[in-house]
Structures are given as C-alpha cells and as structure tokens.
Amino acid sequence: MGTGNRDLPAGFTAAELAHRFALQLKGDGAAVVAGVATLANAGPDRLSFLSNPRYRAQLADSQAAAVVMRAQDSEGYAGTALLAADPYVAFAKIAALFDPPPPLRPGVHASAVVDPSARVDPQAQVDAFCSIGARAQIGAGAVIGPGCVIGDDCEVGEGCVLVARVTLVRRVRLGRRVLVHPGAVLGADGFGLAMDAGHWIKVPQQGGVVIGDDCEIGANTTIDRGAIEDTVLGEDVRLDNQIQIGHNVRIGAHTAMAGCAAVAGSATIGSYCLVGGAAGILGHLEVCDRVMITAMSLVTHSIREPGEYSSGTPLMANREWRRNAARFRQLDTLARRVNALGKTPRDEED
C-alpha cells in the first residue's frame, strides 16, 4: 500500500498545499494530508486525485482528506478539493513531497574500486562494489548505487542517479539529473557485422553514447554506442524498461517510449514522440516530431507527418482468428477476384 515509508514528513494542510502549488482550495483548508492514495483506498489522512473520468464514481465514497480535481468535477462534491487545470500534474508535484529522495551520502564506499585517473566529485556518492574506470568523471550530487560499473572515459553529470547495477561501458556521457534504473547497459558495442568469406567479422564500434539532461532510462534497457559517431538522446527523453536502442540512433527531446520498444541502428526519431510498448522501428528511418506509435506496431518506413500510426491485427478468439488468418494468405487472390468482378468502389456508401 506504499504506506510503510518511515521518512514521511509529518503532513501538510490542504491550505498549505493549495498555496504551495497555486491551486484553488474548496472545502476544509485545515484538513491534514500525510500521504497519497487512490480514491478507493484513501484513508482520512490521504490526498487523492481524479483525472480519468472512469474513476468519477469513486469520488463520492472516498475517505480522502482532500482530492485534486478539475473545477467542473468538484460540483456537488462535499469534501475538500484542490482544483487544478491538470489534476494529474498537480498530484504528481504534491506526491513528490511525500517521496523525498534518500539523503545524499557523499563519499566513496570502502569497497569501491576507482581508477586513479578518474575524477569523483567530493559531493558524489559511490556505493559498495562499484568499479570506476580510467578517466571517468562523476559530478557533484551524483549517486552511483551498489554494483555499478562505470567504464573508461565515461562522464556522469551533476545530480544523476544510477540506482544499482548499472553499466556504462565506454565513452558514455550522461547530462545532468539523468536517472538510470538497475540493469541498464549503456555503451555496449553496436551490432556491426560484415560477412567475409563465410565468417562474420566485427565492425569496430568506436563511438559513444550521449544522454541529455533529465532523461530517465528504465531497468534492463540497453543503449548501444555508435559505430563511428555517437548514439544520442536529447534532453528529457524517457525510456521505460527493457528497451533496446541500436547504435547511432538519435532521439529528440521529450520523446517517451514504453517498455520493450526497440529502435534499430541509425534511425532518427523526432521530439515529443510517443512510442508504445514493444513497438519496433527499423534502422536508417526517420520519424518526425510528434509521432505516436501504438503498442507492438512496426515502423517500416520513414514518417514525415505528425500523427498516430499502427500496424497489426485485432485480438480474437483463437478459433475465429484461425479462420481469418488463413484468409490473409489468400488476400491478394481475393482482391484480384473482386477486381475481376468489374465493380468500381462505391466509397460513398457504408
């Protein structure tokens, strides 16, 4: 239930929250909030929120001390409300009050192994069992959690957090305030091969990885180093877990990708794109700004117009699916037969 946090501050009144986040208060300004909860499960000292209309019905019965919501949703609500144009954003900001980062413990753990040529800022925290390679740099306020490997020539900017067991292989440069979750591997060799007389030979991967400020990289996500130039993520790019980014990919600022998405080598993706879970983007393509790819779709050609794109087929009961899928094999023949019937399409009907 997320209520076990022993580092919780004592609480805030609804009036304090309204003032701090510039929200309009409706109801009891003295109501005390000591944490957050869902509408359905909030106790009387919890703040909740209503953003998605599907949860509207839960509002009346919620025991929450206060609820963040839109003004129009508060009509007829008898409890304490904090009114926001975007309740989810306001809730996120308030919730952060109850989830303070653990206090920084500057210094290098006795067990860590740091190359003499590395520069670790005295205000950085390096935890147990970390390896820091030659010429690596760790900025002030950065946290290198337990078991991380920071390879040669890597740079970790101010305020970055590598939660645990993160690997930066080589020539990886993180901007400021980058958050990297456990198991992520940045800067492994790109997949560059050439077939020579029946055997593969490895194409040397000499580029690096450059990650902009305020990016977030999910657990077990992999971002390969470039072959010659760098693999580049702009600022505020958000990658979920288990995402694969090939060598020399470029991703524009503020783009977000859901879990298990994959981008093949040398693709260029614009800013403010949204890539759904397990979607794929083939190599050497260009995707312009503000493109949304739905889950598990495969991008097989460049996209030059903003908008939403999809591939795949609907889910069906397997027996029904089998019948339809078998017909997919005959689709070209079917279309030819229809053409042979000599009718022109009458798109005006239906």
Q: Counting contacts by CB under 8 A, is residue 196 touching a copy of itself?
A: yes
119-120 vs 81-83, strand pairing mode: unpaired
Q: Counting contacts by CB under 8 A, is residue 125 touching a copy of itself?
A: no
Min dist. Cβ of residue 85 to a copy of itself (A): 11
* Contact stretch for a copy of itself (CB under 8 A) within 11-19, 22-30, 66-74, 191-199: 191-199
Buried b (16+ CB within 10 A) or exposed e, 106-142: eebeeebebeeebebbeebbbbebbbbbeebbbbebb
Name the amino acid, one letter, at 85: A
From 67, 108, 185, 233, residue interacting with a copy of itself (rule: CB under 8 A) = 185
- Dihedral, 209, 214, 220, 223 alpha carbons, nearest 10: -20
Q: Counting contacts by CB under 8 A, is residue 43 touching a copy of itself?
A: no
CB contact set of 340 (below 8 Å; sequence gap of 6+): none
Number of residues forming the site for a copy of itself (CB under 8 A): 146
| Contact criterion met (CB below 8 Å) for 105 and 123 | no
Contact string 164-183 vs a copy of itself (x = CB under 8 A): xx-x-x-x-------x-xxx
Min dist. Cβ of residue 76 to a copy of itself (A): 25
Q: Counting contacts by CB under 8 A, is residue 27 touching a copy of itself?
A: no
Choosing from 247, 254, 284, 301, the catalytic residue is: 247
156-159, Cβ contacts within 8 angstroms, sequence gap of 24 or more: 156/124, 157/213, 158/121
3-state secondary structure of 72: helix
Of 272-301, binders to a copy of itself (CB under 8 A) are 277-278, 280, 282, 292, 294-301
* Contact stretch for a copy of itself (CB under 8 A) within 14-22, 63-71, 118-126, 234-242: 234-242
Min dist. Cβ of residue 249 to a copy of itself (A): 11
Cα 252 from Cα 92, distance rounded (Å) = 24
Task: Output 29 or 294, the one with its CB closest to a copy of itself.
Answer: 294
From 53, 76, 103, 349, residue interacting with a copy of itself (rule: CB under 8 A) = 349
Task: Output 18 or 36, the one with its CB closest to a copy of itself.
Answer: 36
From 34, 63, 290, 309, residue interacting with a copy of itself (rule: CB under 8 A) = 309
Query: Token digits for 261?
Result: 């998405």
Is there a catalytic annotation at residue 247? Answer: yes
Rounded to whole angstroms, what are the CA distances from 117 to 109, 138, 198?
Answer: 17, 12, 42
Of 58-77, binders to a copy of itself (CB under 8 A) are none
| Contact criterion met (CB below 8 Å) for 7 and 100 | yes
Q: How many CB atoms lie within 10 A of CB 41?
A: 15
The residues that bridge with 179 in the sheet, in sequence order, are 161, 216
Query: Token digits for 169?
Result: 């292989």
Q: Counting contacts by CB under 8 A, is residue 56 touching a copy of itself?
A: no
From 12, 18, 91, 251, residue interacting with a copy of itself (rule: CB under 8 A) = 91
From 20, 56, 105, 327, residue interacting with a copy of itself (rule: CB under 8 A) = 327
Contact string 97-116 vs a copy of itself (x = CB under 8 A): -xx--x------x-x-x---
Task: Output 72 or 318, the one with its CB closest to a copy of itself.
Answer: 318
Active site residues: 247
